[in-house]
Amino acid sequence: MFEQLRKNTKLILWITVVAFIGLGFLGWGLSSGFGGKAQIAQGTIGLVNGKPIDGRAYDMVVQRARENYKRQAGRDPDERTDIQMRTQAWNDLVQEMILRQEADRRKIRVTDPEIVEAVFSQPPQEFTQSPMFQTNGQFDQAKYRAYLQDPNTPTQMLEEQYRQNLPLQKLQMLVAGTVSVSDSELWDAFQIQNERIKVEYLMVPGSKFPVDANTLSQADLDAYYRAHRQSYQAPAQAVLQFVSVPIRPTQNDSLNLVEQARGILQEYRNGEDFLLLAGDFSEAPLQLLGGDAGAYLTASQIADPDVRAAAFSIGVGEVSGVLGGTTGVHVIKVLDRKVDPAGEQVKYADIFLTLRPSGDTYGQIRDTISQFRQDTAKRPFEQVASEMQLRVQETAPFGEGGFIPGLGSAPDLQAFAFKAAPGTVSPPTELPDGWVVARLKERREPGIPDLAQILDRVRTEAADSMRVAQAAQMAQSLVSQAQAGTPLASLARPDGSVVFDTTEPFARTGFPKGIGADPAVIGPLFAGGEGVQQEVLRGRTSAFVVKVVQRIPADREAFQSQKESLRKALMQRRQNQVFTEWLATLKKQADVKDYRFGQIDG
């Protein structure tokens, strides 16, 4: 069968071409040999463990992302979106190369029979969604198999795609294949989601007991810190210094936009229909494009002053000149005006052009940040910044995997911060709002900070703990009354120092009214039986006297009927977690060089 598939040579469906201009089919650009850093081949945009990433592969992935965006959104991506696409394309290519290198290291191979089996059993999404392979709106496996078995069907590209991708599938199975889930684990997971209780409670708010945090003694603070020392365990943290060059339009961009608007206005004066021009060029909201669906607006509904003035001053049917706005320029045509009890209103069509950085402006910004990075290889970071009149900023300490203070979501800088040696300067990094070059100022290893480093936090938490302790003392006096049969509701106090409430049935993962997701309260409630709980439960800010009035156990029959689907879902989550953590380690160990913006020594 495999040889028969090889011999098909005639028809190449467009869907096949679309399906396989992807990362797997770009292996030619990812795996060629490489000599040394000083001899980087033309077109190489980066290295992964010494192996080159070809710029053609990068360009193709970016272009495919742009085309997909335009097909879905009906317009070209703006600069911010395009930056995100380029960043994602780079990250995807780096990740794929890392995985392919690992698959090669483990000598993972695929056989011809495995490829045939995969071709038939794992049809690409582009095929399953194509009308050509559907019956009554559903993918038809028989049509797909018949297509593949047709002697006139070429399958070389399909074969190559699976030859590229199957080793990565095998690698993922090897990494995550040891994961298992026992029946007892499934039952525990099912109980967490489905066992429920309903409670009545008295809440004694800690806020009713004044404790001035500023008057706590050093002995109080030392005692609280020692008792809760492990809770202050901090993960590894990093601090970056950075300079940024924002992506902003220049005066030339503004002047060019005005000229563009004047050109469109001249087309109108030459006889073109204004509404057609608006449909072709305007980026204004659709309701302002005129016609019967156009909205009447009051003066307060028009944000830009120049547009507002023109809309209520020129005559119906007249067209304005080029008008300035907060984010671009406008040319409007007044379509109608009326007066009603709400006041004077106007309907107009708006040719609005957004002010954006031009390609030249973008290139100048990129050249500036690239020059800065080049110069930091020869002179100190702060000195170069001063010479180029760029402000050096510094982040607050941040942990791995989250947002960077002052920079937001920046995966490349995150990776740099927890991999590079202190003092190292990053490559230029493209973010949605501008370009950044960072220097790793320091990296703090995991550990428990000294009291002096977290004194304010300890002071606040110690004061809260003292308030809750006093609340618990009051609550304890209510427990015996409740256990003796006094209704909880009758123990509430009108001054709010003791509050009564009842919850709806909730699970361990629920958020019961008045209690919230406080594990110090929720956990003991599910561990105990029905009735008034003997112990006062201390939450984060309040103390509770609780009576469990109903316990609804998880349904064993429902569990049996759902067990296998639960096993599949839990297995998938665990496998994904194992693979994600393994991949993160692999990426951290990889030596990645980014030369998209020029090769930089040092």
What tens digit of pLDDT does each residue of 133-176 get?
A: 899 889 988 898 888 888 888 878 888 888 888 999 999 999 98
113 with 139, same domain: the answer is: yes
Mark whether 339 and 292 lie in a shared domain.
Answer: yes
Residues 407 and 465 grouped into a single domain: no
Distance from C-alpha of 21 to C-alpha of 164, rounded to nearest angstrom: 12
Tokens in use for 586?
Answer: 């692999």
Residues 6+ apart with CB under 8 A from 271: none
Q: What percent of the chain has pLDDT over 90?
A: 60
The answer to whether residues 139 and 242 belong to one domain is no
Helix/strand/coil percent split, the chain, to 5: 50, 20, 30
Residue 255 Cα distances to 77, 148, 322, 527, angstroms: 23, 58, 12, 71
What's the average model confidence in pLDDT over 476-487? 93
User: Would you say residue 186 lies in a domain?
Assistant: no
The pLDDT-based confidence of 41 (bands split at 50, 70, 90) is low
Q: Quickly tell me which residue has 């692999």 as its tokens.
A: 586
84 with 22, same domain?
A: yes
589 found inside a domain: no
Do 60 and 113 lie in one domain? The reply is yes
Give yes or no: residues 501 and 373 share one domain.
Answer: no
Q: Is residue 157 part of a domain?
A: yes
Q: Are the beta carbons of 165 and 26 closer than 8 angstroms?
A: no
Provide the 3-class DSSP secondary structure of residue 250.
coil
The position carrying tokens 């995969």 is 118
- Mean pLDDT, rounded, for 394-404: 92
The pLDDT value recorded for residue 284 is 75
Within its chain, how far is the Cα of 77 from the centroid? 18
Pairwise CA distance, residues 18 & 64, whole Å: 9
Residue 341 belongs to a domain with what CATH number?
Answer: 3.10.50
Shared domain for 127 and 200, answered yes or no, is no
- What percentage of residues in the chain have a pLDDT greater than 70? 91
Burial of residue 170, with CB atoms counted within 10 A of its CB: 0-12 exposed, 13-18 middle, 19 or more buried? middle
In a domain, residue 581? The reply is: no
Report the residue count for the chain.
602
d(CA 592, CA 236): 22
Show which of 415, 444, 473 is a domain's final residue: 444
Among 419, 444, 469, the domain boundary falls at: 444
Q: Tell me what the pLDDT averaged over the chain comes to.
A: 87
The whole-model pTM stands at 0.68
pLDDT in tens, 318-351: 999 999 988 899 999 999 999 888 789 999 999 9
Closest Cα partner for 475 from 528, 542, 548, 529? 542
Domain match, 6 and 147 both: yes
Structural domain boundaries, residue 331 = 251-354
- Contact (CB, 8 A) for 133 and 144: yes
Contacts (Cβ under 8 Å, ≥6 apart) of 472:
204, 536, 538, 543
**Cβ atoms 593, 47 nearer than 8 A:** yes
Count structural domains, the chain.
4
Residue 269 and residue 407 share a domain: no
Residues 343 and 210 grouped into a single domain: no
Residue where a domain terminates, one of 329, 354, 379: 354
Question: What's residue 386's pLDDT?
Answer: 96
218 phi and psi angles, rounded to 5 deg = -60, -35
pLDDT of residue 40: 57
pLDDT band at 32 (very low <50, low <70, confident <90, very high): very low
Q: Enter the tokens of residue 343.
A: 């006041």
Pull the structure tokens for residue 407. 């920079």
- Note whether residue 171 is domain-resident: yes
In which band, very low, low, confident or very high, does the pLDDT at 124 lie, cut at 50, 70 and 90?
Answer: confident
